[in-house]
């Protein structure tokens, strides 16, 4: 294992994304918070990952979970790393994942480490203060911990009693995500707000390991305001969007034009047209399909089981028609990732669309993940009724 990522709020999605992009043999699940990769951090295209919040290079794996052993290793690693950094005051930060210590103890260790580094390297160190066990992304950036003289160490407990220490090389660029989300000229609360991070995950689950190139066309047949297509353009795919509502096509066009203006050197073939996904003829045929489908009614309060059943039947019918319609238009082997609705009926229990059990009859093979079960591919917040379930398939 050469590098490590800290997984986002829904770790299974982050794991599936890594597996899709780098192949299952390159991914080593480490704990509920982190995944290892057999490739170096420099080969991970981190800005593409929607499901991971930090990337780091593994500096040591300790066959112990005792804090005094971890502290010793931290001192050794920091002194070694300090020797490789340019002149100047060192910025140090510590983040732990699954380690049973208190923030006070972690800060005390930080101060001890600061003294050790000072005495061994004669360099001054600024420790990033932290009332928590983990620094957040903004703290890492604000304190320049990924800068030239910065060191953030990630200290990760594994279930088998080992401790992995990694040095952060990249953190999620929150500002850029916020710009891509809230900065867009056209947003629409009614069609929903797909977070760009989830759009990246959907895209990556569809795109797999095939390199993105301008001669590959991605289709979003329910493109709405174009969040998935925005992310697809940023990785260099040509984009094709259709939606039932002509107004949505205008919204997508405005948003994609805006993104091109915002992003230096970004060019892309863009094809947009209104179309009902249950009957539309797409021309040319896309190389991959990714999107968030029609999700049915939005609910502000818990609906009765009858209403959930009714909504599910309605959405199921439309999506089945769509899957049948597009089937004959896709080349065998075309990958698809669709975010479809599932309804949270009680905490962590979901009503799924019936079509999920009929994918094979509809002419699609479900893509299986080594490290994640299909039913874990769900994106939701605790209080959300309509969750998004990600179905990853290829056309038979």
Ligand X SMILES: C[S@@+](CC[C@H](N)C(=O)[O-])C[C@H]1O[C@@H](n2cnc3c(N)ncnc32)[C@H](O)[C@@H]1O
> Under the criterion CB under 6 A, does residue 250 sit at the interface with ligand X?
no
Q: What is d(CA 121, CA 28) in angstroms, rounded to the nearest whole number?
A: 35
Q: Which stretch binds ligand X (CB under 6 A): 101-109, 146-154, 169-177, 223-231?
A: 223-231
Q: What is d(CA 227, CA 198) in angstroms, rounded to the nearest whole number?
A: 9
Phi and psi at residue 69, in whole multiples of 5°?
-70, -40
Q: Which is nearer to ligand X, 14 or 221 (CB)?
A: 221
The set of residues, in sequence order, having a beta carbon less than 8 Å from that of 339 and lying 6+ positions away, is 194, 198, 202, 291, 292, 293, 379, 388, 389, 390
**DSSP helix/strand/coil, 348:** coil
Bridge partners of residue 272, in order along the sequence: 241
Q: Which is nearer to ligand X, 221 or 335 (CB)?
A: 221
Structure tokens at 253: 């066009």
| Bridging pattern class, strands 34-37 and 27-29 | antiparallel
CB 327 to ligand X: min, Å:
15
Q: Which stretch binds ligand X (CB under 6 A): 71-79, 83-91, 274-282, 323-331?
A: 274-282
> Under the criterion CB under 6 A, does residue 14 sit at the interface with ligand X?
no
> Under the criterion CB under 6 A, does residue 173 sit at the interface with ligand X?
no
> Under the criterion CB under 6 A, does residue 278 sit at the interface with ligand X?
yes
Question: From residue 176 to residue 205, what is the string marking binding to ligand X with x (rule CB under 6 A)?
Answer: ---------------xx-x-----------
Half-sphere exposure (CA, 13 Å, Cβ side) for 312? 22
> Under the criterion CB under 6 A, does residue 256 sit at the interface with ligand X?
no
The per-residue b/e assignment along 101-123, b for 16 or more CB within 10 angstroms, e otherwise, is eeeeebbebbeebbebbeeebeb
DSSP-derived letter for residue 370 is S
Number of chain residues interacting with ligand X (CB under 6 A): 21
Residue nearest to ligand X (CB): 224
Query: Contacts with ligand X in 280-319 (CB under 6 A)?
Result: 292, 294-295, 318
Q: Which stretch binds ligand X (CB under 6 A): 44-52, 114-122, 123-131, 243-251?
A: 243-251
Binding residues for ligand X (CB under 6 A): 191-192, 194, 221-222, 224-228, 243-245, 248, 276-278, 292, 294-295, 318
């Amino acid at each position: 294992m050469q590098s490590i990522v800290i997984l986002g709020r829904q770790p299974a999605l982050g794991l599936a994304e890594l597996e899709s992009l780098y192949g299952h043999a390159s991914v080593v699940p480490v704990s509920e918070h982190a995944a290892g990769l057999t490739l170096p951090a420099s080969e991970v295209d981190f800005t593409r990952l929607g499901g991971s919040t930090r990337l780091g290079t593994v500096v040591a794996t300790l066959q112990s979970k005792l804090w005094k052993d971890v502290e010793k290793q931290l001192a050794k690693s920091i002194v070694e790393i300090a020797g490789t950094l340019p002149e100047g005051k060192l910025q140090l930060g510590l983040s732990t994942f699954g380690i049973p210590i208190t923030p006070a103890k972690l800060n005390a260790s930080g101060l001890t480490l600061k003294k050790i580094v000072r005495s061994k390297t004669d360099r001054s160190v600024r420790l990033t203060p932290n009332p928590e066990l983990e620094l957040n992304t903004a703290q890492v950036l604000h304190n320049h911990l990924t800068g030239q003289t910065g060191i953030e160490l990630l200290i990760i407990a594994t279930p088998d009693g080992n401790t992995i220490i990694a040095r952060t090389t990249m953190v999620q660029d929150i500002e850029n995500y916020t710009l891509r989300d809230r900065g867009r000229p056209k947003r629409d609360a009614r069609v929903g707000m797909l977070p760009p991070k989830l759009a990246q995950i959907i895209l990556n689950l569809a795109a797999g390991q095939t390199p993105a190139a301008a001669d590959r066309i991605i289709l979003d047949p329910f493109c709405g305001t174009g969040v998935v297509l925005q992310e697809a353009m940023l990785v260099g795919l040509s984009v094709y969007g259709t939606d039932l509502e002509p107004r949505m096509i205008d919204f997508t066009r405005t948003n994609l034009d805006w993104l091109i203006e915002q992003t230096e050197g970004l060019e892309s073939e863009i094809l947009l047209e209104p179309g009902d996904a249950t009957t539309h003829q797409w021309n040319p045929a896309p190389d991959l399909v990714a999107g968030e489908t029609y999700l049915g009614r939005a609910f502000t309060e818990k609906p009765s089981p009858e209403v959930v059943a009714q909504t599910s039947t309605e959405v199921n019918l439309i999506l089945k028609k769509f899957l049948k319609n597009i089937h004959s238009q896709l080349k065998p082997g075309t990958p698809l990732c669709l975010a479809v609705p599932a309804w949270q009926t009680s905490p962590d229990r979901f009503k799924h669309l019936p079509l999920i059990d009929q994918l094979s009859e509809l002419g699609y093979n479900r893509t299986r993940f080594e490290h994640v079960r299909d039913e874990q591919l769900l994106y939701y917040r605790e209080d959300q009724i309509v969750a998004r379930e990600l179905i990853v398939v290829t056309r038979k």
